[in-house]
Amino acid sequence: MIKVFKFGGASVKDADSVKNVLRVLEPYRDEKIAVVISAMGKTTNALERLLHAYFYHTDMLEEEFNFVRDYHFKIIGDLFPDKNHEVYGDVAGVFASLKSWLENAPSDNYDYEYDQIVSLGEIISTKIVSAYLNMSGMENLWVDARNIIRTDNTYRDAKIEWDKTSELVKGLMKFHREKIYITQGFIGGTSENISTTLGREGSDFSAAILAWSLDAEKVAIWKDVPGVLNADPKYFDNTIKLDQLSYHDAIELAYYGASVIHPKTIKPLQNKKIPLWVKSFVEPKEKGTVIQSDRDGLVVPSFIFKMNQVLVTIAARDFSFIAEQNLRDIFHEISKLRIKINLMENTALSFSICTDWDERKIPELIKSLEDEFMVKYNRGLELVTIRHYDQQTIDRVTVNKDILLEEKSRYTVQMVMRDLNCVDE
Ligand code: ASP
Ligand code: MG
């Protein structure tokens, strides 16, 4: 049976981390594994800055380019003492093609340019890791995900063509003689061979797509945490590691911001009943968390915060009620801008949505609605979601918070809040 492993940016952020990937894979050397790897460290952020400089013609272009290039060549230098190793030329080739791309004027489609440039982070990281594993005696084959993960051309949020993808994956990852394939997370390609990306942090989703396509036995996501915790250790002490989680709980938690797993990851696995392990790359022998079945609920209340939220409140200028007609117009704009709603509420006279703050999309939304509606917004907010809530947990997460909106259902409570410790923007 085939296993799919995923290593995120933090697990390949420098030469030592790459060496650790070899250590994690060692016990599985005789098994069939498809390995999905993200861009190294914070490369995706750096490439986003590079794109910004290119698209908006700022004078940071060269600096951002050199930053990304030097970062990778430092890692290569640390891993490959033989300066004639082919990885040097291979990666230099990627940077040369990036450079010539940047020398031409950008098209007017930001999202398209994004995918052509930002997708290279994964191309580079997998070339380095694949070459390093081969050099260390762990034979593997590098596969270009743009040839197997077939998507439409919704740049930055590309939709998977599942059946075609499955056919392409099976065609290229045959597991006859080869045992280990290395490929990129986060990226795919259209039928016209144009690169696409699946949305930030999309590598987990890539692993799920491969697992689904290959009818894998399981997926393991290797992380710098011991598993899925009941709260974000960045904000809370005394977090508890969950040994087991149902698919349903995992989806709810991931959708509302638990950064351990990308929300789109779970569904394809659930459909084929493929278990998902979240394991530590620091302590690879420890058990981690397994997400499987729908019977085993959470034993403890879990809560997650989504920061940097904005609450947009929309009311009709003519004081008419917010009803079907208005809602249709509002939703039309929201979907045109591909804004994802985290929470919404309507009253007779107004309609509110809570969404991630986006410096491009939110002002555009407001502009498009302003003729017909009065639009107000509050930014710098937090959205907390508590799954299997109890009063004690609600009290714990609302200390020093002003609650602007609250929604309760049987298993989940969500609150949009302002942190009273923070000064207003
Ligand atoms: N490198 C991409 C990102 O940072 C994808 C991923 O890491 O999952 O968003
Ligand atoms: Mg990442």
The CA 274 to ligand 2 mean position distance, Å, reads 23
Asked whether residue 101 is assigned to any structural domain, the reply reads yes
CA distance 180 to 410: 45
Of 200, 223, 246, which residue sits at a domain end? Answer: 223
Residue with CA nearest ligand 1 atom 2: 201
**Per-residue confidence (pLDDT) for residue 178, from 0 to 100:** 83
Pocket test for ligand 1, best of 38, 184, 195 (most atoms within 8 A of CB): 38
Which ligand is located closest to the Cα atom of residue 39?
1
The CA 415 to ligand 1 mean position distance, Å, reads 28
| Average confidence score pLDDT of the chain | 93
Task: Annotate 226-236 with b (16+ C-beta within 10 A) or e (fewer).
Answer: bbbbbbbeeee
CA distance 364 to 230: 36
Asked whether residue 330 is assigned to any structural domain, the reply reads yes
Same domain as 178, residue 57: yes
DSSP-derived pairing of the beta strands 412-419 and 302-316: unpaired
Asked whether residue 260 is assigned to any structural domain, the reply reads no
Same domain as 206, residue 73: yes
CA distance 93 to 101: 12
**Per-residue confidence (pLDDT) for residue 424, from 0 to 100:** 53
Least confident span in 69-73, 77-81, 323-327: 323-327
| Residue 423 clears pLDDT 70, i.e. is over it | no
**Per-residue confidence (pLDDT) for residue 258, from 0 to 100:** 62
The CA 8 to ligand 2 mean position distance, Å, reads 5
For residue 262, the ligand 1 atom closest to its alpha carbon is: 8
How far from the centroid of its chain's Cα atoms is residue 169's Cα?
Answer: 21
Of 187, 203, 223, which residue sits at a domain end? Answer: 223
Question: Residue 385 belongs to a domain with what CATH number?
Answer: 3.30.2130.10
For residue 204, the ligand 1 atom closest to its alpha carbon is: 8
Same domain as 133, residue 12: yes
pLDDT digits (tens, 9 = 90+) for 284-314: 999 999 999 866 565 678 888 899 999 999 9
**Residues above pLDDT 90, as percent of the chain:** 78
For residue 202, the ligand 1 atom closest to its alpha carbon is: 8
* pLDDT category of residue 281 using cuts at 50, 70 and 90: very high
The CA 37 to ligand 1 mean position distance, Å, reads 9
CA distance 142 to 184: 9
Same domain as 207, residue 116: yes
Pocket test for ligand 1, best of 119, 186, 264 (most atoms within 8 A of CB): 186
**Higher per-residue confidence, 260 vs 264:** 264
**Per-residue confidence (pLDDT) for residue 296, from 0 to 100:** 58
Pocket test for ligand 1, best of 119, 201, 204 (most atoms within 8 A of CB): 201
CA distance 327 to 289: 41
Asked whether residue 282 is assigned to any structural domain, the reply reads no
pLDDT digits (tens, 9 = 90+) for 111-166: 999 999 999 999 999 999 999 999 999 999 999 999 999 999 999 999 999 999 99
Q: Are 212 and 269 in contact (CB under 8 A)?
A: yes
Same domain as 177, residue 63: yes
Pocket test for ligand 1, best of 196, 200, 265 (most atoms within 8 A of CB): 200
* pLDDT category of residue 320 using cuts at 50, 70 and 90: confident
Same domain as 190, residue 330: no
The CA 207 to ligand 1 mean position distance, Å, reads 12
Same domain as 139, residue 34: yes
Which ligand is located closest to the Cα atom of residue 204?
1
Asked whether residue 210 is assigned to any structural domain, the reply reads yes
CA distance 237 to 10: 22
- Crossing angle, helix 61-79 and helix 86-103, to 10 degrees? 170
- Crossing angle, helix 120-135 and helix 15-25, to 10 degrees? 60
- Strands in 412-419's sheet, in edge-to-edge order, are 341-346, 350-356, 302-316, 373-387, 412-419, 401-408
Q: Which of 333, 340, 336 is nearest to 369 (CA)?
A: 333
| Residue 259 clears pLDDT 80, i.e. is over it | no
pLDDT digits (tens, 9 = 90+) for 168-183: 999 999 999 889 999 9
266: left (phi over 0), alpha (psi -120 to 50) or beta: alpha
The CA 126 to ligand 2 mean position distance, Å, reads 14
Same domain as 194, residue 311: no
**Domain enclosing residue 94, as ranges:** 2-223
Q: CB under 8 Å to 132, separation ≥6 — which residues? A: 18, 19, 22, 79, 80, 87
Same domain as 210, residue 331: no
Phi, psi of 155 (to 5 degrees): -60, 140
Q: CB under 8 Å to 342, separation ≥6 — which residues? A: 256, 306, 309, 353, 354, 355, 356, 383
Give residue 33's identity as a one-letter amino acid code: I
DSSP-derived pairing of the beta strands 244-245 and 187-189: unpaired
Same domain as 27, residue 151: yes
Residue with CA nearest ligand 1 atom 6: 201
Same domain as 219, residue 330: no
The CA 222 to ligand 1 mean position distance, Å, reads 14
* pLDDT category of residue 77 using cuts at 50, 70 and 90: very high
**Per-residue confidence (pLDDT) for residue 177, from 0 to 100:** 85
Q: Which of 215, 270, 266, 306 is nearest to 4 (CA)?
A: 215
CA distance 99 to 115: 15
Asked whether residue 58 is assigned to any structural domain, the reply reads yes
For residue 199, the ligand 1 atom closest to its alpha carbon is: 9
Q: Domain count for the chain, please give it.
A: 2
* pLDDT category of residue 326 using cuts at 50, 70 and 90: confident
* pLDDT category of residue 231 using cuts at 50, 70 and 90: confident
Question: Residue 103 belongs to a domain with what CATH number?
Answer: 3.40.1160.10
* pLDDT category of residue 257 using cuts at 50, 70 and 90: low
pLDDT digits (tens, 9 = 90+) for 196-225: 999 999 999 999 999 999 999 999 999 988
The CA 335 to ligand 2 mean position distance, Å, reads 26
Asked whether residue 233 is assigned to any structural domain, the reply reads no
HEC string of the chain equals CEEEEEECHHHHCCHHHHHHHHHHHHHHCCCEEEEEECCCCCHHHHHHHHHHHHHCCCCCHHHHHHHHHHHHHHHHHHHCCCCCCHHHHHHHHHHHHHHHHHHCCCCCCHHHHHHHHHCHHHHHHHHHHHHHHHHCCCCCEECCHHHCCEECCCCCCCCECHHHHHHHHHHHCCCCCCCEEEEECCEEECCCCCEEECCCCCHHHHHHHHHHHHCCCEEEEEECCCCCECCCCCCCCCCCECCEECHHHHHHHHHCCCCCCCHHHHHHHHHCCCCEEEEECCCCCCCCEEECCCCCCCCCCEEEEEEEEEEEEEEECCCCCCCHHHHHHHHHHHHHCCCCEEEEEECCCEEEEEEECCCCHHHHHHHHHCCCEEEEEEEEEEEEEEECCCHHHHHHHCCCEEEEEEEECCCEEEEEEEECCCCCC
Asked whether residue 394 is assigned to any structural domain, the reply reads yes
Q: Ligand 1 site: residues with CB under 6 angstroms?
A: 8-9, 38-39, 44, 121, 185-186, 200-203
Of 223, 243, 275, which residue sits at a domain end? Answer: 223
